[in-house]
Structure 1
Amino acid sequence: MAGFSLRCGDCGALLRSVEEAQEHAKMTSHASFSESTEAVLNLVCVSCGKPCRSKTETDLHTKRTGHADFVDKTLEAAKPIELEAPKMEVAASEENAAVTASERAQSEDMMIAEVDKKLLEELESMGFPTARATRALHYSGNNDLEAAINWIADHEEDPDIDQMPLVSINSNTEASKPSLTPEEVKMKAQELRERARKKKDEEDKRMEREREKERIRVGKELLAAKKMEEENERKQLIELRKAEKEEEKRAREKIRQRLEEDKAERRRKLGLPPEDPVAAKPTPPPVDEKKSALPIKPVTKVERMRDSLRFLKQNHKEDDAKVKRAFQTLLTYVGNVAKNPNEEKFRKIRLNNPTFQDRVGSFHGGVEFLEICGFEKQEDGEFLFLPRDKVDMAVLNSAGSELNSAITNPFFGVL
């Protein structure tokens, strides 16, 4: 298969072209490259179009910009690399630079600067063009390989970076200083590689710290959301239990009242005098005296409304959906009258209307609830009619409250 990239044998990096391999070698002093069939990744940001060539680059881009969507265009951009053309171009550029420098030297009495041959060969073996290596050695002192490499890195953007350095023929040139020994060159190269490795390790550690911070932040947000959800569920459960207790309390009070009524009825049938509450309870608390007082009319109607709705639900508990629909229909009738008390059409209901019969009339307790609200049967029982002068807004509001409780409370009518 054709090669789509060059792989660095020292660090494993994938490079798209020979130029990138030379640049990589210049920055890291890595010199071992091999052709690979694996294409360099081309992940394009959907939001801004920035290309990224690795997962690390996409993570950095997401951290800096917040963009998280990328399109993989690796296969679209993958092309076989050219191994010969760049070399030819480099050779041609070096030849042109040498010819230009020679022409300039002849026309201006200038000569190409002399540099240390061994250092020049070492730079060329690293992949640097001859003109660039010569210029770097000349301007960096011509005595240190690392200084020359640093000079190239600092002057990459110079327009004349690939032109041979010229000096005057009449100027006094200093003797070339002794070059580094092969052992020193290896030590320098090893030092450069070690620096590049440390820099890469530091970058990886920094990225890992950033990812760990992000994981901690997301974890905290999830924990806060979970706590909020649990708190909402707890509040709902408390409200539900409170509603259950209220319903149980009303049911117990109703049973107590019925027991008192049955007890009084039995004493009456046996010819016994009514039980003296003072004798039965020598020291009744003030609360019992208040409870013994007769309730006012709206409270009595509220109890009758509640009993009517409870009776309706208990007698039709096998079809909860229809019971709830009946409650909602009664709430609509009551609400229309409360909102429009002067409209007669809302205060008059035909009993034999199919819709009314299906929703309310067929349920025991439905018509009785409307009668408690003030509706009266007229025209031989054909209509339910609420006279305008008998519209009591307090009664209608109480009816709406009881219907809302019956619809929303899942334990309504259970006891």
Structure 2
Amino acid sequence: MAGVSLKCGDCGALLKSVEEAQEHAELTSHSNFSESTEAVLNLVCSSCGKPCRSKTESDLHTKRTGHTEFVDKTADTVKPISLEVPKVTASESEEAVGASRQAEEMVVPEVDKKLLEELEGMGFSIARATRALHYSGNASLEAAVNWVVEHENDPDIDQMPSVPVNTKVEAPKPSLTPEQLKAKQQELREKARKKKEEEEKRMEKEKEKERIRVGKELLEAKRMEEENERKRIVALRKAEKEEEKRAREKIRQKLEEDKAERRRRLGLPPEDPSTAKPAAPVVEEKKSSLPIRPATKAEQMRECLRSLKQNHKEDDAKVKRAFQTLLTFVGNVARNPDEEKYRKIRLTNQSFQDRVGSFKGGIEFLELCEFERVEGSEFLFLPRDKVDMAVLNSAGSELDSAIKNPFFGVL
């Protein structure tokens, strides 16, 4: 079988033609070539049409672009190749000599020296930089870089380009002046800065959306917690009322039994049920008018704070400041119960009036904490013997809840 490729004996590379073998020899100084029956692969990408000469090259193309489908057209391009020198006529010999002279007269194209230096300074090899400038027309540094990016997987990307010596080479476009180059660099930096600012704004918007979402979830969780607490209190009070109702019923039955026992001892006839029935509604009416158990100290404090907030709901900041001031008074006494200065408050003090005294419910809350008016109602004073840590702790808890709970006083 005739050879369909040339194989380099030094590095094992397969070449499709004598011309490729000559170019390979010039670049590598390899001279040991032989015919091979192994054809150079021609794997054409189905997506973009790029030909690949080997499996390694197709793998690199897949890794770079993600394209995985290739059509093997090796058999379509295989042609016999031979290293034997064919016999030619004199005229053909002259033409071959002329062609060989033209082939020998290949030179490296001229490119813009400043752009070449800039590309080398960016880390590109001289061959890759020369090829990029030549094929991009010496247009600009940006055009050359774009050409390198688009052709970085070309097999000859690092080979020095060559053109015939008699080829008319267009004069390279003049390089940018220092002022133009500085302006171009400033423009690129400005584009990069704007792009970075846009990305930062987009990320900030995403973060803000996430913060809003988390905030809504927290508020909803707190609302549900408040609602569940309210339902629990309602259920507890209902159970207490039922228990009180059952207790009153037991007392009524006990009274009826005692009454019957007294009539029996006195020898009186049993009371006629028909005559006792009319009195039942009266007794029931009295029972319905009985008050519910008195509110605890903590409930009174909570109701006082709720009333304070409702009466001044148009200025939430001042209400919060009043709560914090009350918490400071209570905390100072709890931490220093023996210090009289913490247990005595001048009502005429302007700061106290601005923060607490001017609010309906502020002084009442302090009185629930056992503060008393003394010396012509000019002072609020908490006697040492009336300092109750349980009451102060309860007051602190109610104030802390009123400050931190965003739904306090809403329901």
Coarse TM-score class (shorter-chain normalised): 0.3 to 0.5
| TM-score, structure 1 normalization | 0.42
